[in-house]
Amino acid sequence: MSIKRTPADDYFSKCVRARTNYTCERCGKQYDKSSAGLHCSHNFSRRHRTIRWCKENALALCFSCHSWYEGNPPDSGVWLEEKLGIGAVEILREKMNSKMKVPKTEEKDIAKHYREELKKIEKARANGVCGIVEFESWQ
């Protein structure tokens, strides 16, 4: 898929991966922070700007689990509903279908927001917090 990545995408991706301490949310394998092996996988495509930077729309998945997710509908859809809960997936669908506009000019603020959230996660890790460290979603 060739949707151009912006700084907002980069900081959002970093937050999603740091949230699980660089651990795949399907197979449980942990990665180095700098590894390209762990992806920020969008549950519904980044084409949908109303949920492109919504934390409920993203999971940290390793290359292999990301490939499985993208290549195996409807099984991956069933898996997602089990993972998030059917209600959460419904909310995502509603947000996805919303006609609200997310202007380009907002992306600068989104990048700034996730840069700050990333700092908070990293601070928690430095203080020895393990497991999931949640962050505030912009959308």
- Kindly list the residues in this chain that would bind Zn ion in the complex (CB under 5 A): 24, 26-27, 62, 65
The DSSP call for residue 2 is -
CB of 25 to Zn ion, least distance (A): 8
CB of 24 to Zn ion, least distance (A): 3
φ/ψ of residue 72, rounded to 5:
-130, 45
The residues near 98 (Cβ < 8 Å, ≥ 6 apart) are: 50
CB of 63 to Zn ion, least distance (A): 8
The alpha-helical segments, DSSP class H, found in 1-106 are: 7-19, 63-71, 75-84, 86-97
Per the CB < 8 A criterion, the answer to whether 24 and 46 are in contact is no
Which CB, 40 or 65, lies closer to Zn ion?
A: 65
Which CB, 79 or 88, lies closer to Zn ion?
A: 79
* H helix or E strand, kind and range, residue 111: helix 107-126
CB of 109 to Zn ion, least distance (A): 32
HSE-up of residue 115 (Cα within 13 Å, Cβ side): 9
Which CB, 26 or 113, lies closer to Zn ion?
A: 26
Which CB, 49 or 79, lies closer to Zn ion?
A: 79
CB of 138 to Zn ion, least distance (A): 26
Which CB, 18 or 62, lies closer to Zn ion?
A: 62
